[in-house]
Chains A and B, each alone.
Chain A
């Protein structure tokens, strides 16, 4: 499985934008970039995913580098409820199974 590299932790202030980086230099052409987050004492939650183009949804935006070797999850206005571990995961599209392998993720702290 292709690996991703994320900072161990990041800190943000409430109501400010947050840019969470992810490096994936060995990504293959058919790998999707997925982001999940896990709030304390909860299961992981799907945030967003993309292949080549930037993506937006109600939770966040995903900016993908032109060479696809890195991506950035953007939270436009952080709230205290966004404090979580954020995981960047590559998901292959080959076969009928989509195996989600978690790395260590980035622990985001949001200051009031």
Chain B
């Protein structure tokens, strides 16, 4: 298995809703990442998990809450989002250390906040 699987592919949520994005990989990668991509812009790093521990938070608002329950799963919990949070949310994973060979990205969840 050489894929990163993200669910759902599309999500529409209201500003008072709580929802979660899910990311899964079975490549044995011990680093996982969340990125946000607005239309016509490059992806922007949000969070990095290394060995299931949060190692980088790029000053992301608290309405985004990441969670890494085990080495294969990464969640992004969403609460009280704003319309400007509408974007493509990308998950990625990679090895760490000498075996690092690049990131593997999922296809993303396209989020619309109404």
Contacts and interface: CB of A to CB of B under 8 A. Distances in A.
Interface residues of B, number: 25
16 contacts: A36-B102, A43-B90, A43-B105, A45-B105, A46-B103, A85-B42, A93-B100, A97-B55, A97-B96, A98-B94, A98-B96, A98-B100, A100-B33, A101-B45, A102-B43, A103-B42
B72 interface: no
Contacts of A49: 101-102
Interface of B: 4, 31, 33, 42-45, 48, 50, 55-56, 90, 92, 94, 96-97, 100-108
A8 to B, nearest CB: 12
Contact of A46 (B50, B104, B107): B104
Decide if the interface of chain A is mainly helix, strand, loop or mixed.
loop
Give the bracket for the number of chain A residues in contact with chain B.
Answer: 20 to 34
Contacts of A101: 45
Contact of B48 (A43, A45, A99): A99
